Structure 1
Amino acid sequence: MTKKPIIGISANEVEDSGEKLHNLPINYLPAGYVRGVQLAGGLPILLPIGTKEDAIEYVTQIDKLVLTGGQNVNPKWYQEKLSFDASLMSTKRDEFELALINETMRQKKPIFAVCRGLQLINVALGGTLHQDLSQRTPEPVIHMQDPIPREEPTHKIRTEEGSSLRQIYGENTSVNSFHFQSIKELAPSLKVAAISEDNIIEGIESNSTISPILGVQWHPDFAYEAIEQEREIFKFVVNEL
């Protein structure tokens, strides 16, 4: 029997889960990550927020890391002052996931980063972020599409020639969009793999000197049931990255 690749997926947490879950504190992640990995033939493992020591143990036991979406990234990691509501970030989560990134790269294992994950890995490698795209006036492309259904593509991107994203999506495609932050200065060890109509970096890859990294600003986990290419990216991550 062929061993399934073990895919560690970073989890989020909330102290009060609401009445439906009896207001319990919970660790969680959107089911699309789990199901996307399962459909691609991988074995998903949830990685709850923990210590730096936990991060080392987790990475030792997985084959690949998936960094999920969620809160804004604390700008202190790229030496800027906070310009948004502090309740929108989780420094505790940042610290743990930065430890995951560092250890995964030390062990030279692949990383797939989605939305916040793309932003955090850029910061971890020396890049910076636009703290709030919605402050642009006028906003040329809407990057937070809520309340439009999450699986529905709302803006166009162009993939870079020779990139993994070009193989999966073709030269031009449309994607969903649920982010306030984006890459401003790209980390030196990363390269652009896709860009939006308003020149926001929508996809990244690592150069050949570090661990394999693929990042997307959109959410394949929201659209994998509706769109074939979003299933294909999970297959690529699990089986080829």
Structure 2
Amino acid sequence: MAIIGILGTPYNTVEKTPFWWNKVSYTRQSIIDAFQNLGHTVVILPVDKPENAQKYLALVDKIVLTGGADVSPRFYGEEPHSLLETTDPKRDAFEFAAIEAALAAEKPIFGICRGLQVLNVYFGGSLYQDLSQTSSTIKHRQSPTPQEIPTHQVTVAKDSSLNFLPEHYLVNSFHHQVVKELGEGLTAIAHGTDGLVEAIENKEKGILAVQWHPECTWPTEAFDQKIFQLFADGSL
């Protein structure tokens, strides 16, 4: 069984809720549960100095990049858009270093939502800082629809690692940034009906990332459960 390193999300605000004035590093329990349900061990890796990333990577077999704050546009050479939301450049820098360490050690990487966007930027791609910069009319932020209920369709490439999914597959969606220019060496393997990228991969480097949130749906959706299995069991 694999040791899965989930890169933690920093919560840096100090209001009373939800952590009683404490700054914390956390991840969604549903992501932990998805891997533990498959018999794997999970370790949460907190944000640290980039130069320490290699030490953390030595503890695990593969890493997961999760959702959270917007990726700072400074990392792809753009001025902040007026609709840019909270950014965390320290997290960005550490995650870039973790990606670099994982690639050097030939350890697989799985990205979820922001994780896909971080990977795209790491490989030299860029992002639409807000969906208003696109022509999309799809509701990519599905709230108040519950997270476990899919709301829009993606089309999946049949020659990809996700070829076990139906060609037209329903997913959930909670994001306002999206891939603009695809990073070097990455392949877009799923798109929304609006043409926007919904999944990427680099098979040679063991990289897979999805824009949706399978951690919300795996208990009831066998296809999303298989995404975690594909990554964790080494069949990517």
Structure 2 length as normaliser, TM-score? 0.94
Residue 87 of structure 2 corresponds to residue 93 of structure 1:
no
Can you give the 5+ residue segments of structure 2 that lack an aligned partner in the other structure? Answer: none
How far apart, CA to CA, are the structure 2 residues paired with 1:183 and 1:177? 14
- Aligned-partner residue type, residue 215 of structure 1: A
Deviation for aligned residue 1:207 = 4.7
Deviation for aligned residue 1:85 = 5.4
Deviation for aligned residue 1:22 = 2.3
Q: Who is 2:160 aligned against?
A: 163
Query: Equivalent of 1:180, from 176, 179, 182?
Result: 176
Deviates most, 221-230 or 69-78: 221-230
Q: Who is 1:53 aligned against?
A: 51
Query: Equivalent of 1:142, from 139, 143, 167?
Result: 139
Say if 1:134 and 1:227 are closer, same or farther in 2 by CA, change over 3 A: farther
Residue 219 of structure 2 corresponds to residue 225 of structure 1:
yes
How far apart, CA to CA, are the structure 2 residues paired with 1:111 and 1:18? 34
Answer yes or no: is the 8 Å Cα contact 1:17–1:25 preserved in 2.
Answer: no
Corresponding residue pairs, total = 234
How far apart, CA to CA, are the structure 1 residues paired with 2:127 and 2:191? 15
How far apart, CA to CA, are the structure 1 residues paired with 2:230 and 2:224? 10
SS at match of 2:58: helix
Deviation for aligned residue 1:35 = 0.4
- Aligned-partner residue type, residue 56 of structure 2: Y
Say if 1:48 and 1:229 are closer, same or farther in 2 by CA, change over 3 A: same
How far apart, CA to CA, are the structure 2 residues paired with 1:47 and 1:70? 15
Q: Who is 2:195 aligned against?
A: 199
Q: How many percent identity over aligned positions?
A: 37
Say if 1:20 and 1:78 are closer, same or farther in 2 by CA, change over 3 A: closer
Structure 1 length as normaliser, TM-score? 0.92
How far apart, CA to CA, are the structure 2 residues paired with 1:174 and 1:109? 29
Query: Equivalent of 2:35, from 11, 21, 37?
Result: 37
How far apart, CA to CA, are the structure 2 residues paired with 1:161 and 1:57? 37
Say if 1:20 and 1:145 are closer, same or farther in 2 by CA, change over 3 A: closer
Output the aligned Cα RMSD. Answer: 1.5
Can you give the 5+ residue segments of structure 1 that lack an aligned partner in the other structure? Answer: none
SS at match of 2:175: coil
Answer yes or no: is the 8 Å Cα contact 2:83–2:130 preserved in 1.
Answer: no
How far apart, CA to CA, are the structure 2 residues paired with 1:215 and 1:147? 25
